[in-house]
Amino acid sequence: MSAQKKRVLICYTKLAHYRIPIFERLAAYYDLTIVHSGERCTSADSCFEEIVLPVRRVGRFHYQTGLWSVIRRNRYEAVIFFLDLAWISIVLSFLFCPGIQRRITWGLWRTGRRIPNLVRLCSALYAHANVFYSVGAAQEFLTLGVPNNKIYVARNTVKVESPYRREGGCRNTLLFVGSFDRRKRNDVAITAFSDIVNLIPSQIKLVFVGDGSDKETARGLARSRNVSDRIEFHPATTDDQTLRLFYSNAIASFSFGQAGLSVLQSLGHGVPFITCRKAVSGGEIENIRHNYNGILCDNDIEGLKTAFVKVCTDCDFVSQLGLNAKEHYQKYCDEYNMVNGFRSAIEGIPQQLPSSVWEE
């Protein structure tokens, strides 16, 4: 007779599609419930339970009605709190809800604001365990006095089905996949590309896949720079096969101003990633090693132009970057790595914190 699975609850904000494969994998080990206030994402035969709570918004704060009751009426062996301080119901439940056997934070990070940072530090000290997205974030809290036995890393990721890199054939695009907003600095990418079109093979195009408030502005800039015939705009998609086709044609992918989950998606497809060293990031930028599996540019347009020309004209260089990208994803960043980080925190199994993302 098999042992009964531990009951685990994750208190979340809104369930995103890219989290579902991670939670499905975690549900192989636990009787897992996800409570959140977004759109329902699973069907009745899902391997984890999904509870959707109504949410009220007051200014920038969110309050999930009934969260405390969900936690209290079930005897969970562990409760994981995604501790976004704007979601006050999650914060209050984490701090004050009694009877929780193992209280775990997920996704703590430090910003430039003193009081929120103090709340995060006190929360990390109060928790039984803390799961961080990245090695860098974990090391920062360690230096602030959080005990090593409360620190775990579950590197953030996007599942890529059967990570691979297509060799042979013609790669002829510089690819952006993500939402259009000003933080991505797509205006810099379009301007840089328009400046170097005569320095790269004529078949290479700049391809954007995504939607957002800044998309029409990007289209207008492409027209004004007279490169509309070399730039393509496609709607957002989460379809694996469609994305695989885009990545299979990509020399490199880029997001100059922000290095988020698109970094992991690119590496998993064996495509090097280009961004600037000062890009906004939740830690995903740690996965890029300059001139090994991607390029970290200086924070100006000249750096991006140099990177574009390099990857478009040096086939051997970019091929090796792509192979290294795939290997890095498989070794450090697939869904198994992320799930194992959660499992260690739930079970209280000591996790040796590496000195960098490149160490075991």
Structure confidence by residue, pLDDT tens digits, 331-353: 999 999 999 999 999 999 988 77
Q: What is the pLDDT of residues 65-89, one digit of tens each?
A: 999 999 998 889 999 999 999 999 9
Closest to 327 (Cα-Cα) out of 288, 270, 275, 284: 270
- Please identify which residue in the block is written with the tokens 């365990």: 129
pLDDT at residue 234, rounded to an integer: 97
Q: What is the pTM of this model?
A: 0.91
The average pLDDT across 9-18 equals 95
* Token pair in block for residue 71: 């936690």
Torsion angle (degrees, nearest 10) of CA 353, 14, 209, 182? -80
The average pLDDT across 154-170 equals 85
Residue 31: is its pLDDT beyond 80? yes
Q: Mean pLDDT score of the chain, rounded to an integer?
A: 93
pLDDT at residue 22, rounded to an integer: 95
Residue 1: is its pLDDT beyond 50? no
The average pLDDT across 117-145 equals 95
- Please identify which residue in the block is written with the tokens 């193992």: 102
Residue 44: is its pLDDT beyond 80? no
Residue 357: is its pLDDT beyond 70? no
Give the number of other Cβ atoms within 10 Å of residue 351's Cβ: 20
| For helices 114-126 and 88-96, angle between their N-to-C axes, nearest 10 degrees | 40
Q: How far is CA 78 from CA 49, 95, 277, in A?
A: 15, 14, 37
Q: How far is CA 163 from CA 249, 266, 271, 288, in A?
A: 15, 10, 11, 17
The average pLDDT across 218-240 equals 95
Q: Which residues contact 113 (CB under 8 A, 6 or more apart)?
A: none
pLDDT at residue 75, rounded to an integer: 87
Residue 156: is its pLDDT beyond 80? yes
* Token pair in block for residue 68: 């405390």
Domains of the chain: 7-157+334-347 (3.40.50.2000), 173-333 (3.40.50.2000)
pLDDT at residue 358, rounded to an integer: 64
Gap between the Cα atoms of 33 and 10, Å rounded: 6
Closest to 139 (Cα-Cα) out of 278, 283, 330: 283
Q: How far is CA 181 from CA 147, 223, 239, 301, in A?
A: 38, 19, 22, 18
Residue 169: is its pLDDT beyond 50? yes
The average pLDDT across 229-253 equals 95
Q: What is the pLDDT of residues 90-121, one digit of tens each?
A: 999 999 999 899 999 999 999 889 999 999 99
Q: What is the pLDDT of residues 284-314, one digit of tens each?
A: 999 999 999 999 999 899 999 999 999 999 9
Residue 3: is its pLDDT beyond 80? no
Portion of the chain with pLDDT greater than 90, in percent: 86
With contact defined as beta carbons under 8 Å apart, do 204 and 231 qualify? Answer: no
pLDDT at residue 165, rounded to an integer: 84
With contact defined as beta carbons under 8 Å apart, do 189 and 176 qualify? Answer: yes
